Amino acid sequence: MSGLGRVRERPVEHGGPEAEGDKRTLRREFLGVRNRLTTDVVREAAEALAEHALELPELVRARTVAAYVSVENEPGTLALLDALLARGVRVLLPALLPDHDLDWGAYDGEGSLARVQHGGKMALFEPSGERLGPEAVLGADVVLLPGLAVDARGMRLGRGGGSYDRVLARLERAGAHPALVVLLYDTEVVGRVPAEGHDRPVQAVVTPSGTRRFTSPDAP
């Protein structure tokens, strides 16, 4: 993946305002690298990522997967979603609510998606069918998370909108323990990212070159 640059790593793991400031700086850097990727690099990365993700034990066993549709230069997810659907997996996709929480709907192929513009934010591709409610994610065996980086502890750097923090908090309150997997480019697996008290580690990361596990596939 020669189109991917190297983003510097930072040994920051404390909470508080300083950690949030470091997160904002890192987000700008990682997004800057993504914005320079070519269409060919993004396409090739998506194909390789899907191939590796489908071999992940948690996804091999899963009956319901909560996922998302990639936008812009995010690691591509459509090939993975279609492969899961072909396996008979129930795939849930998010729909952004006005308070930044996530509702969910079923994915039934690319034709079941609607492009939705949320104010001045980027347009998202959301399920066009029935809304199942924010609690629908509690039935997922695996939750595929977007992100900008993950570190050696499995701590994920998100985009800062807070939607997936709400999802993870909802899972924790309900005592639900789906496998948490983040999808990234290879250079986004780094030594350390800032972490705050509400941040939760993922069990694995999938990149175009393979997978890296942070816990056993059978860990809750």
Q: How many domains does the chain have?
A: 1
pLDDT, tens digit, for every residue of 101-116? 999 999 999 899 999 9
Residues 6+ away with beta carbon under 8 Å from 189: 149, 150, 151, 205, 207, 212
Domain range spanning residue 147? 17-213
19 has a pLDDT exceeding 80: no
* pLDDT for res 49: 97
Question: Is position 194 within any domain?
Answer: yes
Question: Is position 9 within any domain?
Answer: no
The CA distance from 216 to 97, in Å, is 34
210 has a pLDDT exceeding 60: yes
218 has a pLDDT exceeding 50: yes
Structure confidence at residue 13 as a pLDDT band (50, 70, 90): very low
* pLDDT for res 42: 96
Beta strand ranges found along the chain (DSSP E): 64-66, 90-96, 102-106, 113-117, 123-127, 142-145, 149-150, 156-157, 179-183, 204-207, 210-213
Mean per-residue pLDDT of the chain: 88
Question: Is position 22 within any domain?
Answer: yes
Mean pLDDT of 176-191: 96
pTM, to two decimals: 0.88
Cα 120–Cα 122–Cα 128 angle in degrees, nearest 5: 110
Question: Is position 185 within any domain?
Answer: yes
Question: Is position 53 within any domain?
Answer: yes
Structure confidence at residue 123 as a pLDDT band (50, 70, 90): confident
pLDDT, tens digit, for every residue of 131-142? 999 999 999 999
The CA distance from 111 to 8, in Å, is 39
Structure confidence at residue 5 as a pLDDT band (50, 70, 90): very low
12 has a pLDDT exceeding 70: no
* pLDDT for res 14: 38
Question: Is position 110 within any domain?
Answer: yes
The CA distance from 137 to 46, in Å, is 24
CATH of the domain at 145: 3.40.50.10420
Q: Classify the C-alpha dihedral 64-69-73-76 as positive or negative.
A: positive
* pLDDT for res 141: 98
Structure confidence at residue 6 as a pLDDT band (50, 70, 90): very low
Can you list the alpha helix ranges (DSSP code H) found in the chain? Answer: 17-35, 39-53, 57-61, 78-86, 163-174
For residue 30, which phi and psi values (nearest 5 degrees)? Answer: -65, -40
Question: Is position 220 within any domain?
Answer: no
Question: Is position 11 within any domain?
Answer: no
